[in-house]
A and B are shown apart, each in its own frame.
Chain A
Amino acid sequence: MNVVTLSAATFQTPSVEYRQLLPMLIVFGVALLGVLVEAFMGRTARQHVQLVLAVGGLVAAFVAVVGLAGHYGVAVMGAVAIDGPALFLQGTILVLAVPAVLAMAEPSLDRGGVFTSAGSSVPGSEHERVLTATGVTQTEVFPLTMFAIGGMLLFPAANDLLTMFVALEVLSLPLYLLCGLSRRRRLLSQEASLKYFLLGAFSSAFFLYGIALLYGYAGTVRLSGIAAAVSNGSGSDTLLVVGTALLAVGLLFKVGAAPFHSWTPDVYQGAPTPVTGFMAACTKVAAFGALMRVFYVGLGGLVWEWQPLIWAIAILTMVVGSVIAITQTDVKRMLAYSSIAHAGFILTGMVATDTVDARTGEILGVSSVLFYLLAYGFTTIGAFAVVTLVRDAGGEATHLSQWAGLAKRSPLVAAVFTLFLAAFAGIPLTSGFTGKFAVFSAAIAGGATPLVIVGVVMSAVAAFFYFRVVVLMFFSAPAPDGPAVAVPSALTTMTIALSAGVTVLLGVWPTQVLDLAAQASQFVR
């Protein structure tokens, strides 16, 4: 039996490379500043100061990420990896967060903003009515969003499982709260928040138990140490296999893959729509980054064991997402199932683990997923921003029947939404086509042809329900008391314009970004 000896010599002062952590430090710093602004600033200026602070922080962090481009190594004693995929995903999260935050700050669609005046007020109470009448609004959503973004930046860069767990909680806890703060339909919003919280906590407990078993197997939680223990094959296989499975449950829950997808439709429908867009895009980016790092770096030696599992989950996810989406009657719920189907498409690309392009040395599985995440993120944020515009007296009109004949009321909004749906369906000249082409060709190169066949069939099924909405918008008569299309302020307009622009740009001229993703496809080991 080993006895733990405590002596001064075994402790060394950790070195912290602040320069390499700068993007995360900026975002967390801005989040803390946001808390101070919320506490001490007068109520009139607060909203504007918070928005400027948040967007400024995101831009500064993005500049810091660009400044680190090409870096390949580990920081903080190996706890954080700053390599191609980490930097690409951090940049992706930051550029996606800017339009998402702009949509959250939208002041004019709902009087007083998207979010409730005070999260603590009971829906329908006198207290809430007074707050609404006086126009007092808390702005804690901005610091909460920044904390979530900080966690998302750390999640795909975490090089040991403890850091990864802490990052998972830092990104999740603010999201649980953000889900419950809608101004309209508070009961639905709070229910979404409760469901997300209980299921999220349940899944992170599984994630943590998986870490514990892998620690028991390898004696360390560092991914490189686990990889070394796997190649030695010295420990107990039971601990390794059960630990890997439990870890995968936690990560696949965050990704929204079947059979761990059941929270997605409820939470996406109940949460305030700008938050849904933010969650659907940025959480997915961060979670896929972490999933790839765990499976490629830590468990790369075990690829023959986990690859069939990912195959099965990818097929199940694509089928469940595409087929159940057909029966949906709510736009947000339909987009939620579509996001589940897209998680399946992305998993298809992930299967091509060790397929290396002989000419450039790019790892096709990684680079195609990186590109897909960027393309899909912008389309999602844009689509949910369009959903906030279609309104009736009760707030957003999300039932599909209410969208009938929308093109007669606003041809522009209907056309933009059609563009986003076409990108989801993977029609050429949109970013969705380039992304799907990249992941499917990577999967074929990796020998996963059956998976690609399922993927193509499911894309066709998905195209059916996307174009059903298009037909509904353009070729149905509008209901006489149907919803109107509200004119948003410059903020939501910018969000939609930016998303639509990137969606077209990445479809017509994707070379630059594809090259960037190819260069960034090498994980540090």
Chain B
Amino acid sequence: MNPMNYVYLSALLFSIGAAGVLLRRNAIVVFMSVELMLNATNLTFVAFARMHGNLDGQVIAFFVMVVAAAEVVVGLAIIMTIFRARRSASVDGANLLKY
């Protein structure tokens, strides 16, 4: 199978993730959409690694997983504190700072 198809698939997944960030209201779901974007990027890296015949892309995918895990730690901590203070994880509720 042509590995370019995986690149198209990853572009589709990335777009779904980006749309999710922009459209969803719950901070957790927004955050999950960001994770989907990162994982779509991983698929791109692995597909290109296969096409170029070198290992760089596969190694990068591991780095991205580690970074995404670190981001989960920080992100969930922030969303948790917000939820405990406001009893809501809606991004529409966080509207004290404007103009």
Contact = CB atoms under 8 A, between A and B. Distances in A.
A284 interface: no
Contacts of B78: 176-177, 180, 190, 193-194, 197
Given A190-B81, A219-B52, A198 B60 contact: no
Interface of B: 7, 10, 14, 17-18, 21, 27, 30-31, 34, 37-38, 40-41, 44-45, 48-57, 60, 63-64, 67, 70-71, 74-75, 77-79, 81-82, 84-86, 91, 94-98
Contact of B60 (A162, A197, A205): A162
Contacts of A192: 97
Interface string A192-218: 111101100110010011011101100
A323 interface: no
Nearest to B10: A212
A418 interface: no
Interface of A: 1-4, 6, 119-120, 122-123, 162, 165-166, 169, 173, 176-177, 180, 186-188, 190-195, 197-198, 201-202, 205, 208-209, 211-213, 215-216, 219-221, 265-266, 269-270
A270 B34 contact: no
A221 B60 contact: yes
Contacts of A219: 48, 52, 54, 56
Nearest to B51: A216
A438 B37 CA distance: 40
B41 A209 contact: yes
Contacts, number: 130
Contact of B96 (A188, A193, A220): A188
Given A205-B38, A208-B38, A216 B96 contact: no
A225 B2 CA distance: 25
Nearest to B72: A201
A270 B40 CA distance: 32
B30 to A, nearest CB: 6
Contact of A195 (B18, B54, B97): B97
B94 A191 contact: yes
Given A4-B54, A202-B34, A270-B97, A194 B82 contact: yes
A4 B55 contact: yes
B74 A197 contact: yes
Given A187-B85, A197-B78, A212-B44, A202 B52 contact: no
30 contacts: A2-B51, A2-B53, A169-B67, A169-B70, A173-B70, A173-B74, A176-B75, A190-B78, A190-B85, A192-B97, A194-B79, A195-B97, A197-B75, A198-B21, A198-B27, A198-B30, A201-B71, A202-B37, A205-B41, A208-B38, A209-B14, A209-B37, A216-B7, A216-B44, A216-B48, A219-B52, A220-B54, A265-B97, A266-B97, A270-B96
A166 B67 CA distance: 7
B64 to A, nearest CB: 7
Contacts of A188: 96-97
A192 B98 CA distance: 11
A123 B85 contact: yes
Given A3-B53, A215-B57, A165 B67 contact: yes
Contact of A198 (B55, B91, B96): B91
A4 B71 contact: no
A507 B84 CA distance: 49
Contact of B21 (A119, A202, A221, A265): A202
A270 B55 CA distance: 43
A220 B67 CA distance: 20
A120 B77 CA distance: 9
A176 to B, nearest CB: 6
Contacts of B14: 205, 209
Given A122-B85, A166-B67, A201-B71, A215 B56 contact: yes
Nearest to A203: B34
A194 B67 contact: no
Contacts of B85: 122-123, 186-187, 190
A412 B60 CA distance: 54
A176 B34 contact: no
Given A194-B79, A198-B91, A205-B38, A166 B96 contact: no
